[in-house]
Structure 1
Amino acid sequence: MKVWIFFVLLVAGHAMAAPEPEVGTNPVQVEVGDFDEAIDVEEETVEDIVDNPCLNYHCKKGKVCEVDEGNTPMCVCQDPSTCPPADAEFEHVCGTDNKTYDSSCHFFATKCALEGTKKGHKLHLDYIGPCKYIETCLDSELNEFPLRMRDWLKNVLVTLYERDEDNNLLTEKQKLRVKKIYENEKRLQAGDHSLDLLAHDFEKNYNMYIFPVHWQFGQLDQHPVDGYLTHTELAPLRAPLIPMEHCTTRFFEECDSDSDKYIALEEWASCFGLKEQDVDKDLII
């Protein structure tokens, strides 16, 4: 977890501040388990499982496995005091209650204890790092955000394609689509481009951006795969970006145009400037 978060912060910061992704990985590759999903448990032998049913029992973040009097495993809220102490500042996380937690473990343990309450329902992981003052996102700045984000997504895919010999970073169908972008002589190379150039390139080479926008939606829509993005599903992308891109929260809030707490593919595509006729669920590979 420590390595992933640090790695993601470096990539997200470099890619959004200056759109030349030195590493070129995708922030959604941060372990989704740290944003509300089941804890991975190593496989054990049958004998081990019989002796301790919790060895192969999965609990969501913030919960741990215990056995009752009948030796039946069950998930209970973890005591925050049992979480390992943070070794570095980047392990801290900020909740939507504007409170800094020592680590994601401390955060989810606290959220679990509030389960079933109004406060617990509203509490989410906001971003990685200690809570800090986030500047107000102006309308003009909000309009600039998708320019950088689109270009970044395109460059992330191109870099994954370049490095994906036997790493299974992309599926074969994804490789075919990215190959067309990679080999296009008109493709704007990664670099520290002006907003005017990014806007011009989007207008002239619009088709190169259609698949990257769909691809990112598919990467996030995982728990469950239902064609909608929730706050939890957005967290792996939002959390590393908010401390460096102060328009991140407002951008995703306004993507939810009908304010139903879910971002549909059509809403997502519209936020990134795609035309309605180019929204294609078949591109979510």
Structure 2
Amino acid sequence: MRVCIVFLLCLAGQAFTASITEEEPIIDDVVEEAQPEVGANPVQVEIGDFDEAIDVVEEEEDITENPCLNHHCKKGKVCEVDEENTPMCVCQDPTTCPAAVGEFEHVCATDNTTYDSSCHFFAQKCSLEGTKKGHKLHLDYIGPCKVIEACMDAELNEFPLRMRDWLKNVLVSLYERDEENNLLTEKQTLRVKKIYENEKRLQAGEHTLDLLAHDFEKNYNMYIFPVHWQFGQLDQHPVDGFLSHTELAPLRAPLIPMEHCTTRFFEQCDADNDKYIALEEWANCFSIKEEDVNKDLVI
């Protein structure tokens, strides 16, 4: 299914979020349902939710009687106090996870097992901590497990054509809806304004691959900033000029069930196979010329 369709679906509904647990290879984890953070891509979820160290414990009225109030545990663990009233993180019992409201809360793991929710998955993963099985177990994508078609070479070549166009249209849409400068920063607004006001801009909609390729060739400069912008949106934990699997998950996870070349595309971006995607590698994936890669555009 076309990425532009993904974009429209995400604007009309809610994005899905789930938290991932550790900095490992790029292509592994996903997210549970949540509204997109202000300024984030409509299709991706709040990146901060992927920080494995963040899992806020429910607030209690009396801080002095609840040491767990400000004690944070990673997903799959909950806070308990020992005999000395010292807070500590222990694996959560899967039976204490809220029951899934519907199939949309289900998640598929890399062992091809469908879990009722990300809570159930992370509780199970925690129980396997320290084992080979636990080390290899990760969330793969949102929704029940299903057969993902193999991505053919020709299809892989088409993926960045749609992805570039989608990124540009995401920014234009944010610009159109940004009445109080909450969706884009001042610098971002100035960049997108140039794209928005360009009469040669290809309007959002269903376009043939030939047209997308032609537009990229003729209006190349319109695509430089959107590619840099998306990198900056993902490079958050930490901001270091590299994308880990943790940082890629908010974008990758919702796309997999609808764009079967997603996984292979991001794997290919890691040209040196070091498990991280540098800005230069990211730009190259979208055919941005080396001389146009500019860290100052990651704003």
Normalising by structure 1, we get a TM-score of 0.88
Stretch moving more, 116-125 or 32-41: 32-41
Q: Which structure 2 residues correspond to residues 1-285 of structure 1 after superposition, within 5 A?
A: 15-17=3-5, 23=11, 25-30=41-46, 32-33=48-49, 36=52, 38-41=54-57, 48-166=62-180, 168-285=182-299
The count of corresponding residues between Structure 1 and Structure 2 is 271
Structure-1 separation of matches of 2:44 and 2:181: 17
Q: Which runs of 5+ in 1 are unaligned?
A: 1-12
Structure-1 separation of matches of 2:269 and 2:284: 8
Distance in 1, matches of 2:149 and 2:69, equals: 45
Percent of aligned pairs sharing the same letter: 77
Q: CA deviation at 1:200?
A: 0.5
Q: 1:166 to 1:136 in 2, by over 3 A?
A: same
Which amino acid in the other structure matches residue 179 of structure 1?
Answer: K
SS in 2 for 1:236: helix
Q: TM-score, normalised by structure 2?
A: 0.84
CA contact (8 A) 1:92 1:102 kept: yes
Distance in 1 separating the partners of 2:231 and 2:151: 23
CA contact (8 A) 1:161 1:179 kept: yes
Q: In the TM superposition, what is the alpha-carbon distance from 1:23 to its structure 2 partner?
A: 2.7
| Higher deviation after alignment, 180-189 or 118-127 | 118-127
Amino acid paired to 1:129: G
User: Are residues 237 and 44 of structure 1, via their aligned partners in 2, closer, same or farther at CA, if it must alter by over 3 Å?
Assistant: same
C-alpha displacement of 1:268:
0.9
Partner amino acid, structure 2, of 1:255: C
- C-alpha RMSD over aligned residues: 2.1
The runs of 5 or more residues in structure 2 that have no matched partner are: 13-40
8 Å Cα contact 2:105-2:116 kept in structure 1: yes
1:37 Cα deviation from its structure 2 partner: 5.1
Structure 1 residues 219 and 37, CA, compared in 2 at 3 Å: closer, same or farther?
A: farther
- Structure with the bigger RCO (C-alpha within 8 Å, sep 6+) is 2
Counterpart residue identity of residue 112, structure 1: C
1:15-62 alpha-carbon deviations (Å, 9 max, x no partner)? 4447767838522234642674512457666xx111101122222111
Distance in 2 between residues matched to 1:258 and 1:85, nearest whole Å: 42
Deviation at 1:227, TM superposition (A): 1.4
Alignment partners' CA distance in 1, 2:60 and 2:192? 40
> Structure 2 CA distance, aligned partners of 1:269 and 1:155?
18
Cα distance, 1:80 vs. partner?
1.3
